[in-house]
Chain A
Amino acid sequence: MNTIIAFENVSKTYNLQKQKTFKEFLPALVTRKETKTKLVALSQINFELEKGSSLAIMGRNGSGKSTILKLVAGVTKPNDGRVTVNGRVAPLIELGAGFHPELTGRENVYLNGSILGIKRKQMDKLYKGIVEFAELSDFMDEPIKHYSSGMYMRLAFAVAVAETPDILLVDEILAVGDTKFQQKCLARIKDFKKFGSTIIMVSHSFEQMRQNCQQGLVLTEGKKVFLGEINKALGAYQKLLD
């Protein structure tokens, strides 16, 4: 089969520094205080995703959901085990991470596009669609510090979904924006599924997860509790919450 993401025995431990500054670190070193605390974020996680499938990850805060997204995005590495990702990942995490308030909407679109790995030429083609999707054609030459937070959000989302990615990571972002725009975003995500994108979603909304995902992974304290069909997963998660 067409495996696009594979986690094999993946464990991730964070070595959190107790001292954030050198001024605190030096005395701690001299007095032999502990300088690090270990935090197990994930232990022994196994799963495989096929091309075109969709997975919802659920769990309480701190159960390791975001760590899985980070591992898929390639920004962090596992301490143990292996993560295999075949394809272009588009992270829809914290929209507009690369936006700069002093730049115009247009400049920000190009900047954010290049952060996402979209070449300039390709962007020239996508640009019109982005502006239309964001419904901001009159504001593209304004610095985005003059945008309302809704406009900011719309532009960021439009850039992120401009090109069909192989893998789309969705991290609770759909909680923002008005209902109409939310519907539009969800519709775009559905389109991606039709084109064969793989989707990993982290959410607290049962409704969204049920509508958008076929499979569910339930985590507690970094361990897998349940992996399988979405309705059963939601049931297992509900039990965990009760």
Chain B
Amino acid sequence: MFEKIKKNTELMWEYRELLWNLAHREISQRYKQSVLGYAWVIINPLIQMIVVSFVFSTILRIPSLGVPYIIFLSVALLPWNLFVSSLSSSAGVLVNNSSLITKIYFPREILVYATIIAKIVDFLYSCIVLVMFLIIYKISIHSSIMWVPLIFLIQMIFTIGLSLIAATFNLFYRDIQYVLNLILMLWMYLTPVMYPVEILPEKYRFVFSLNPMSVIVNAYRQVILGGGPPNLQSLSIALVMSLAIFVVGFYFFKRMEGKFADYV
């Protein structure tokens, strides 16, 4: 197994220029089209957050662990948006590039990776919103923020694994992406993005630890706003689950890869 993944890593290194060029294509195609360009990646989440925080904080009065609700929300919502956009655009990426897939050989997972890289770039821009709020509300940051890269890595492993699966399924059945969008919407409500886990009685909270996204979202909150290390036990479970999903997704993708050109 390690042999295969090692081989694939070498292959990716060989194709790094293609990976970068495809990611660059994804990024620039969006920003060249509209006058507002880069501003959209900031305006979109900003408006989304204002609306959500009006509904959940002002009307429903959801508690937010002693920080302004909008900050409580954005720490979780921005990574969640990255997860959703990566997954839903990966689902369509093979079909959208069918003209390449049927003509030229290259490792197909590059298309999925390039999409995700483009979404990470969007994510980084959208984080400006969070930084802005942190400054406005004068929230101080602790050294525990050093955990963020690790949490992000786990999120990426999980995202890539699921994206590979979604991309493959959608190639065979074109409407999987609509089913996926529905699932993602439900998934968001099952993940403590807009509310704290504490809203649920203690004895039911274990269900959150079965959902890697909820562990990840909680960990971000803990290290950015809570000022302490994340819950390492649930984070390890999330890591193991993410790795498992990645391995399954990767093998599934590679197994079906030879058939892509015949079905797309």
In the bound complex, CA of A77 to CA of B263 (Å): 12
Stretch in A14-22, A55-63, A176-184, A218-226 with 4+ CB within 8 Å of B: A14-22
**A117, B175: Cα distance in complex, Å:** 33
Counting CB contacts under 8 A, is A143 at the interface? Answer: yes
93-110 of chain A: CB within 8 A of chain B:
93-94, 97-98, 100, 102-103, 107, 110
Closest to A116 in B: B104
Is A102 a contact partner of B173 (Cβ separation < 8 A)? no
- Are the C-beta atoms of B101 and A20 separated by less than 8 Å? no
B262 and A110 contact, CB distance less than 8 A: no
B22 touches A111 (CB 8 A): yes
- With an 8 A cutoff between CB atoms, is A76 at the interface? yes
Residue A86 lies at the interface, judged by CB distance under 8 Å to chain B: no
With A and B bound together, what is the CA distance between A222 and B179 in angstroms?
Answer: 38
Tell me whether B22 and A74 are in contact (CB under 8 A).
no
Q: Which residues of A contact B100 (CB under 8 A)?
A: 97-98, 115
Q: How far is the CA of A118 from the CA of B106 in the complex (A)?
A: 12
Question: Is A91 part of the contact surface with B, judged by Cβ < 8 Å?
Answer: yes
Among the listed A25, A94, A116, A119, which residue makes an inter-chain contact with B99, where contact means beta carbons less than 8 Å apart? A94
Q: Chain B residues near A98 (CB, 8 Å)?
A: 99-100, 104
In the complex, whether B254 has a CB less than 8 A from a CB of chain A is: no
Are B104's CB and A75's CB within 8 A?
yes
From residue B246, how far is it (CB to closest CB) to chain A in Å?
A: 24
- Is B175 within 8 A of A23, CB to CB? yes
- A97 near B104 with CB under 8 A, answer yes
- Stretch of B25-33, B75-83, B201-209 contacting A (4+ beta carbons < 8 Å): B25-33
Interface string of B82-96 (1 = CB under 8 A from A): 000000000000000
Q: Quick check: is B4 within 8 A (CB to CB) of the other chain?
A: no
Q: Are A103 and B104 in contact (CB under 8 A)?
A: no
Residues of A within 8 Å of B138, CB to CB, are none
How long is the Cα–Cα vector from A119 to B21 in the complex, in angstroms? 11
**Contacting residue for B21 out of A21, A97, A111, CB 8 A:** A111
- A residues 45-82 touching B (CB-CB < 8 Å): 70, 73-77
Determine the chain B residues whose CB is within 8 A of the CB of A232 once the complex forms. none
Alpha-carbon distance A111/B174, docked complex (angstroms): 27
Asked, given contacts A20-B173, A115-B18, whether A75 binds B101 with beta carbons under 8 Å apart, the answer is: yes
**Cross-interface CB contact of B175 among A21, A75, A93, cutoff 8 Å:** A21
A91 touches B21 (CB 8 A): no
B28 touching A103, Cβ below 8 Å: yes
Q: Which residues of A contact B (CB under 8 A)?
A: 14-15, 17, 19-23, 25, 70, 73-77, 89, 91, 93-94, 97-98, 100, 102-103, 107, 110-111, 114-117, 119-120, 143
25 CB-based A-B contacts, threshold 8 Å: A17-B172, A20-B173, A21-B175, A22-B175, A70-B261, A73-B103, A73-B104, A73-B105, A75-B102, A75-B105, A91-B104, A94-B99, A94-B103, A97-B99, A97-B100, A98-B104, A102-B33, A107-B24, A107-B25, A111-B21, A114-B21, A115-B21, A115-B100, A117-B18, A120-B17
